[in-house]
Amino acid sequence: MTTDSSSPKQNNSKQTIIAIAAVVIVLLLGFNVYLLVSKSNQKKELTSQLDESEQLKAELEKQYYDALSELEDMRGSNEELNALIEQQKEELKSQKERIEGLIADSNQLGRARKELRRLNAKVEQYVAEINQLRAENEQLAGTVENLSAERDTLRTNLMSQKATNEELSTAQAALVSEKEAIEAEKARLSKKVDIASVVKVEGIEVTGYKERNSGRLSKKRYAKNIDQLKICFNATENNVTEPGVEEFLVRIIEPGGLTLAVEGLGSGVFTNEQSGDQIRYTQSKETDYSQKAETLCLNWAPGQPFAEGNYTVEIYNKGYLAGTSTFRLK
């Protein structure tokens, strides 16, 4: 009789191990099945992506080369049109390269398809632009033809007008020459009249004064004691001069050769009609001239000391020297 040495406890332990092993095997089998199914799905998805990529590549190539062919067929003799086609071809090439980059990335296939549709729309836009430019060029060619005909007509008229103008130019040159001679004579006579109408002055006298505290003026002979000058002169009779306002410009030249002038006291600049020079004057004196002789006076009080020496007084009328004199301050 054989006695079984295994205890009930040991049997239970074996059964537990067997059960655990069975569960593990089942799990491993399930995981393997999952991996096989997942790999199969991935393979199908990759195959689908590869198929779509190839399809997109094929569509891209077809659209691109069809577009190039269509653009080349639209070439002509117009340089502007051909330059536009070259520019459009370069733009299409850049867009094609951009789409190829998107197709190479499986995650960008949707975007690549959108860009492919945009490429097609761009080609249609290019064709429309070229057709419009071609129509405008045809219209322009018609306009140029019309203008050429008008130009020929104008050229004929111009030649006829040119012959007439040459005759007129000859006559005009003679008239201009005659006019210049008349104007020169007129200017010469006008200048003579201006000179003849100058109101001459004589009897120029200059007296130095000093103002006392009482306000009264006293004559002085020495420069250091003088604070103002009184210039008097006689405007002579002139029947050529029209009656009216006459202006006399008085110029006082100090011993150093400078004209005494203070803008605030009425000094200014005039044109010497004899020489054309711009000359400063000390003060002006206006009178209502009636062609009769009269005596005029003015005071010059510059508010600054006078220098010792010889002074010159020049009086101008109508821009011409009407009279001159000298005086000395000791």
Dmax (CA) for the chain in angstroms is 188
| The pLDDT of residue 290 | 93
Total of domains in the chain? 2
| pLDDT score of 69 more than 50 | yes
| pLDDT score of 2 more than 50 | no
Q: Are residues 123 and 216 in the same domain?
A: no
Among 322, 238, 230, residue whose Cα is nearest residue 283: 230
| pLDDT score of 44 more than 90 | no
Tally helices (H) and strands (E) across the chain: 3, 10
Residue 271 backbone dihedrals phi, psi, to 5 degrees: -100, 125
Determine, yes or no, domain membership for 1: no
Determine, yes or no, domain membership for 148: yes
Q: Are residues 206 and 283 in the same domain?
A: yes
| The pLDDT of residue 178 | 67
Rounded mean pLDDT, 176-198: 64
Query: 3-state class of 319 per DSSP?
Result: coil
Query: 3-state class of 3 per DSSP?
Result: coil
Asked if residues 326 and 311 have their Cβ atoms less than 8 Å apart, the reply is yes
CA Rg value for the chain: 57
Determine, yes or no, domain membership for 283: yes
Determine, yes or no, domain membership for 3: no
| pLDDT score of 206 more than 50 | yes
Determine, yes or no, domain membership for 241: yes
Determine, yes or no, domain membership for 121: yes
The residue from 127, 162, 197 where one domain ends is 197
Q: Are residues 176 and 41 in the same domain?
A: yes
Question: Angle at the Cα of 205 (from 199 to 208), degrees rounded to 5?
Answer: 140
Instruction: Supply the CATH number for residue 322's domain.
Output: 2.60.40.10
Question: End-to-end distance of the chain based on CA atoms, in angstroms?
Answer: 180
Q: Are residues 173 and 221 in the same domain?
A: no
Instruction: Give the torsion sign (CA, 74, 79, 83, 84).
Output: negative
Mean pLDDT score of the chain, rounded to an integer? Answer: 82
Asked if residues 229 and 307 have their Cβ atoms less than 8 Å apart, the reply is no
> Parallel, antiparallel, or unpaired: how do β-strands 217-220 and 244-253 relate?
unpaired
Among 279, 208, 223, 289, residue whose Cα is nearest residue 250: 279
Q: Are residues 30 and 46 in the same domain?
A: yes
Q: Which residues are registered as beta bridge partners of 284?
A: 249
Range with the lowest mean pLDDT among 35-39, 78-82, 175-179, 309-313?
35-39
| pLDDT score of 236 more than 60 | yes
The residue from 148, 171, 197 where one domain ends is 197
- How far apart are alpha carbons 221 and 71 in whole angstroms? 107
pLDDT band at 47 (very low <50, low <70, confident <90, very high): very low
Q: Are residues 120 and 243 in the same domain?
A: no
Rounded mean pLDDT, 134-145: 80
| pLDDT score of 320 more than 90 | yes
Q: Which residue shows structure tokens 């301050």?
A: 329
Residue 103 backbone dihedrals phi, psi, to 5 degrees: -65, -35
Q: Are residues 283 and 137 in the same domain?
A: no
Q: Are residues 225 and 179 in the same domain?
A: no
Q: Are residues 187 and 205 in the same domain?
A: no
Determine, yes or no, domain membership for 5: no
| pLDDT score of 100 more than 90 | no
Q: Could you tell me which residues come within 8 angstroms of residue 285 by beta carbon, excluding any fewer than 6 positions away?
A: 247, 248, 250, 296, 297, 298
| pLDDT score of 269 more than 70 | yes
Q: Are residues 117 and 266 in the same domain?
A: no
Distances (CA, A) of 15 to 3, 24, 260, 324: 21, 14, 142, 155
Structural domain including 288 reads: 199-329
Q: Are residues 55 and 167 in the same domain?
A: yes
Determine, yes or no, domain membership for 186: yes
The residue from 142, 174, 197 where one domain ends is 197
Q: Are residues 316 and 284 in the same domain?
A: yes
Instruction: Mark residue 276 as left, alpha or beta (left: phi above 0; alpha: psi -120 to 50; beta: remaining).
Output: left
Rounded mean pLDDT, 191-211: 87
Among 50-64, 92-106, 287-301, the range with the most confident prediction by mean pLDDT is 287-301
